[in-house]
Amino acid sequence: MAKLTPPPLRNDCFAMPQGAHWTPVDTALAHLKAHLSAVTGTQTLPIAQAAGRFLAADVIAARSHPPHRNSAVDGYAFAGPAPEGPHELPLVDGRAAAGQPYAAPVPPGYAIRILTGAPVPDGADTIVLQEDVTATKSAIAFHGPLKQGANARNAGEDMTAGTVILPAGRRLTPADLGMIAATGVGTVSLRNPLRVGVLSTGDELAKPGQAADNAQIYDANGPMLRATLARWGYKAIDLGQAPDDRETLRAMLDAASDKTDAILTSGGASAGDEDHVSALLEGTGSFALWRIAMKPGRPLALGLWRGTPVIGLPGNPVAAQVCTLMFGHPALQVLAGGDWPVPHRYSLPAGFAKSKRAGRREYQRARLTDGRVEVFASEGSGRISGLSWATGLVEIGDAAANIEEGDPVSFMPWGSFDL
Ligand code: AMP
Ligand code: MG
C-alpha cells in the first residue's frame, strides 16, 4: 500500500490566545488537543507485528465470531427445550467435535455427542452438560429443565462480519490482536512508530557513567525520558547533551529535525539568559511559552523547528517528568496517530494532610499504602528519588483545598500514563 504522510503542523499550532497570565492545565490540554494531528505515515503489516502500535484505519470484521453456532461445553446436543422432569434420548451414531463437524441433521427425538467448540448440527440447538447425564453407548438420560439454546453460542453473538470492531487511533493491546485474529483479519493498517528525539541541555550536564567534577550533574532526564518514550512504543532517539551555547544547540536541532518526528528537550526552556531552547524557538516564529498554572512546572516552551514539533520541558527532573506525563503523553500520542488519552483518576482516601491556595493545580509524587494515598516527604522538584519511590501522582485541583487524612483525593497510578 502507498505510504501516506500527513500534512505538516501549522506554524501557529502552539500559539495560545493571549490574556490569562497563567494558563490552567485544562486550557493547555484543550489547546494541544485542538491543534495537534498525526504526523506519521502509514503501513500495512501482519498482526504479529502490530502490538502496541496505533491503527491508521478502522478494523472491520472479515467474518462473524463465532462463525457458526457451536457448543460451549462437552455434552449432548438435541432439539430443546427440555421441560422439567426426566428425559431419555437415543444417541445418533457419530459425534460433533471442534474442527470435525457432524454433517447430517440430528433426527427429531435424538441426541448427539458434542464437544466444546463443535458446530451444533442441524436438528439440534440445546446442549446438556456431560456431567448432568447418565450415558450408555446408545442413549442418555438427564433431568430438565433446560432452556432452548442452553450451552450453545450463537453465530455472530460476539462480533458481526462487516462491522467496525476497532477504530483508527486505537493503540493495539494483546487482547485486540486476539479479537482481530478471531474475525479472520490478518493484516492491519498502522501508523509508523513516532521517532522522538531527546535532548538534554545545560553546561552542567555530564553523561551518566563518565567522570564528572563537582560543578557538574549527571543527565538524569535523558535516560528517564527515553525509557518513558520506549514504554509508549515510540522510537526514542538519543540526541545527547547540548551545552548552553546557542549555535551548538542550533546545529544539534537542525540535525535532529531531519531524523525525528518530534523532539523533547529538557532545560533552558524559560526566559532567562541561558534559556537557549526558548530563544532559538522564538526565532522560528512558531514559539510559544506556556505559563501553566501547575506545580511542579515552570513554563513549557513549544514550537516547530524546521517543521518538527519541539516540546521544551523544564530541566528539573520532577517537573520534566510530570510535564511529560501530563502534556507530552497526550501530545505525542496524537502526533503518533493515536486518539487523545485521558489518564484514569482513582478517588482514594488521603494518607496525608495539606492545604493549598486557589489558582494552580498541584501534582505530588504519591503511592498507595494500605489503600491510602501517601505523598513523598518533600515537594522539591529536584528530588528525583521521589519519582522512583512513587507509583503515581496525586492531583490536587486548581481550587483552594484543605485536605485532611481520609478525604478522597485523585490518584493517577503510572499505569494511567501507560507507564
Ligand atoms: P533549567 O531548566 O535549565 O534552568 O534547569 C533547572 C534545573 O534542572 C537545574 O538545577 C538543572 O541543573 C537541572 N537539570 C537540567 N537538566 C537536567 C538533566 N538533564 N538532568 C538532571 N537535572 C537537570
Ligand atoms: Mg539549564
pLDDT digits (tens, 9 = 90+) for 175-215: 999 999 999 999 999 999 999 999 999 999 999 999 999 99
Tell me the one-letter amino acid at 249: L
pLDDT digits (tens, 9 = 90+) for 111-127: 999 999 999 999 999 99
Point out the ligand 1 atom lying closest to the alpha carbon of residue 319. 8
Identity of the amino acid at 157: E
> Is residue 288 scored above 90 in pLDDT?
no
For residue 100, the one-letter residue type is: Q
Which ligand 1 atom sits nearest the alpha carbon of residue 222?
A: 19
DSSP state at residue 57 = S
Mean pLDDT, rounded, of the chain: 95
φ, ψ dihedrals at 66, nearest 5°: -70, 160
Q: How far is the CA of 202 from the centre of ligand 1 (A)?
A: 7
DSSP category for residue 327: I
Of 56-60, 158-162, 282-286, 320-324, where does mean pLDDT reach its minimum?
Answer: 282-286
pLDDT of residue 112: 98
299 lines ligand 1 (CB under 6 A): no
Ligand 1, atom 3, residue with closest C-alpha: 267
User: Which comes out higher in pLDDT, residue 310 or 3?
Assistant: 310
pLDDT at 154 over 70: yes
DSSP state letters, 177-224: HHHHHHTT--EEEEEPPPEEEEEEE-TTEE-TTS---TT-EE--HHHH
For 82-115, how does the pLDDT look when each residue is reduced to its tens digit (9 = 90+)? 999 999 999 999 999 999 999 999 999 999 999 9
Q: pLDDT value at position 3?
A: 64
Q: What are phi and psi for residue 216, nearest 5 degrees?
A: -100, 155
Per-residue pLDDT at 18: 64
How far the first Cα of the chain sits from its last, in Å, is 32
The mean pLDDT of 396-407, rounded to a whole number, is: 96
Q: Within 13 Å, how many C-alpha atoms sit on residue 236's CB side?
A: 19
Q: Does pLDDT of 1 surpass 60?
A: no
Which residue reads 446442549 in cell numbers?
127
Report the separation in Å between the CA atom of 268 and the middle of ligand 2, taken as the mean of its atom positions. Answer: 4
Q: Quick one: 77 exposed, middle or buried, by C-beta within 10 A (0-12, 13-18, 19+)?
A: buried
Look at strands 288-290 and 187-191 and give their pairing.
Answer: unpaired
Q: In residues, how long is the chain?
A: 419
138 torsion bin: left (phi>0), alpha (psi -120 to 50), beta (else): alpha
What's residue 4's pLDDT?
A: 73
Name residue 147's amino acid.
K
Is the CB of 266 within 6 Å of ligand 1?
A: yes
pLDDT (0 to 100) of residue 2: 54
- Tell me if 317 CB under 6 Å of ligand 1: yes
Closest protein CA for atom 10 of ligand 1: 316
CA–centroid distance, 197 to ligand 2, in Å, is 18
Structural contact between residues 166 and 144, judged by C-beta atoms closer than 8 angstroms: no
Whether the Cβ atoms of residue 221 and residue 267 lie closer than 8 Å to each other: yes
pLDDT at res. 378: 87
- Name the H helices within 62-170: none
Residue whose entry in the numeric block shows the C-alpha cell 526566559: 271
318 C-alpha to ligand 1 centroid (Å): 10
Lowest mean pLDDT segment, chosen from 139-143, 329-333, 355-359: 355-359
pLDDT computed for residue 88 by the predictor? 98
Residue of 192, 183, 164 whose CA lies nearest to 54: 192
Reply yes or no on whether the pLDDT at 323 is more than 70: yes
Q: Whose CA is nearest to atom 15 of ligand 1?
A: 315
Ligand nearest, relative to CA of residue 274: 2
Percent share of the chain, pLDDT over 90: 89
Picking from 396, 335, 323, the residue whose alpha carbon sits closest to that of residue 366 is 396
The beta strands (E) that lie in 50-156 are given as 59-60, 70-71, 75-78, 82-96, 111-114, 126-129, 134-135, 139-146, 152-153
Q: Lowest-pLDDT range, 4-8, 196-200, 313-317?
A: 4-8
Taking the C-alpha atoms of residue 132 and residue 339, their distance in angstroms, rounded to an integer, is 49
Is the Cβ atom of 203 under 6 angstroms away from ligand 1? no
- Cβ of 204 below 6 Å from ligand 1: yes
Compute the distance from residue 39 Cα to the ligand 2 centre, in Å. Answer: 29
Residue 114 burial (C-beta neighbours within 10 Å; 0-12, 13-18, 19+): buried
CA 23 to centroid of ligand 2, rounded, Å:
23
- Classify 346 as helix, strand or coil: strand
Say what the pLDDT of residue 8 is: 86
Residue range 37-41: mean pLDDT, rounded: 97
Give the tens place of pLDDT for each residue, 218-247.
999 999 999 999 999 999 999 999 999 999
Q: How far is the CA of 193 from the centre of ligand 2 (A)?
A: 30
The answer, yes or no, to whether any atom of ligand 1 lies below 6 A from the CB of 249, is no
**Rounded to an integer, what is the distance from CA 234 to the centroid of its chain?**
12
CB of 217 sitting under 6 A from ligand 1: yes
Given pLDDT bands bounded at 50, 70 and 90, which one contains residue 299?
A: confident
C-alpha cell belonging to residue 318: 520532577
Cα 356 to ligand 1 centre (Å): 26
Using the atom order of ligand 1, give the atom closest to the CA of residue 266: 16
